[in-house]
Amino acid sequence: DAGITQSPRHKVTETGTPVTLRCHQTENHRYMYWYRQDPGHGLRLIHYSYGVKDTDKGEVSDGYSVSRSKTEDFLLTLESATSSQTSVYFCAISDVPSLNTEAFFGQGTRLTVV
Amino acid sequence: GNSVTQMEGPVTLSEEAFLTINCTYTATGYPSLFWYVQYPGEGLQLLLKATKADDKGSNKGFEATYRKETTSFHLEKGSVQVSDSAVYFCALYSGNTPLVFGKGTRLSVIA
């Protein structure tokens, strides 16, 4: 299994509080991604990173920020959590995308905003 | 932009039945196509892939053929097992943008 660890695995938080999810990899892959998974929507890209301090927005980036200060860590922050951000969050990693590139996924973080 | 459309689920089959999960795509250029599987409580893992037209990806008895003329990449298995119960995602990569996923199809196989 690819070395990807997400923490925490489960979290319940209150509306309006800040929340940070962490993704840690041991594979030295350049690209890291945050997706959210919701029923009826599949996986939607929030943000991704193509190198240390290099990030870009995805399809559903509003209300989220990210940081990557080291190759191995990619943080997702909800500045002020809302109930619409209740979801399962997945981190993924890959080499530089090409036609043969495979993405590897973490086990997910279930976040509940009450 | 790039997009993937896959059949709505859930799909419920008896053991040893034939499985087809439809997937069609819209993409610029010549995308690579993937099927990922998500078992209960786990993250996604790659099931199979195809990188050019007429390529057939296969793994664990599953197959999918890249059909450029119909922009499709349907997943098939001749005889499903209870252990195949999972959510299946069709995805594509084109250019240097991240993977784009379909909405997923939940498969339940009953003994």
Secondary structure (3-state) at B84 = helix
Q: In chain B, which residues touch A (CB < 8 A)?
A: 32, 34, 41-46, 49, 51-52, 89, 93, 96-104
User: Using a CB-CB distance cutoff of 8 angstroms, which residues of chain B are in contact with residue A42?
Assistant: 89, 101-104
User: Using a CB-CB distance cutoff of 8 angstroms, which residues of chain A are in contact with residue B104?
Assistant: 42-43
Stretch among A45-59, A77-91, B17-31, B92-106 having the lowest mean pLDDT: B92-106
The predicted pLDDT at position A98 comes to 72
A11 and chain B: CB distance < 8 Å anywhere?
Answer: no
Positive/negative CA dihedral, A65, A70, A71, A73 = negative
Angstrom distance (rounded) from CA A17 to CA A13: 7
Listing DSSP states for B14-83 in one string gives ETT--EEE-EEEE-SS--EEEEEEE-TTS-EEEEEEE-STT-EEEETTEEEE-BTTTTB--EEESS--GG
Query: Over the stretch A83-93, which tens digit does the pLDDT of each residue have?
Result: 999 999 999 99
Question: Which DSSP letter does residue B98 get?
Answer: P
Answer whether A42 sits within 8 Å of B49, measured CB to CB.
no
Band of pLDDT at residue A99, cut at 50, 70 and 90: low
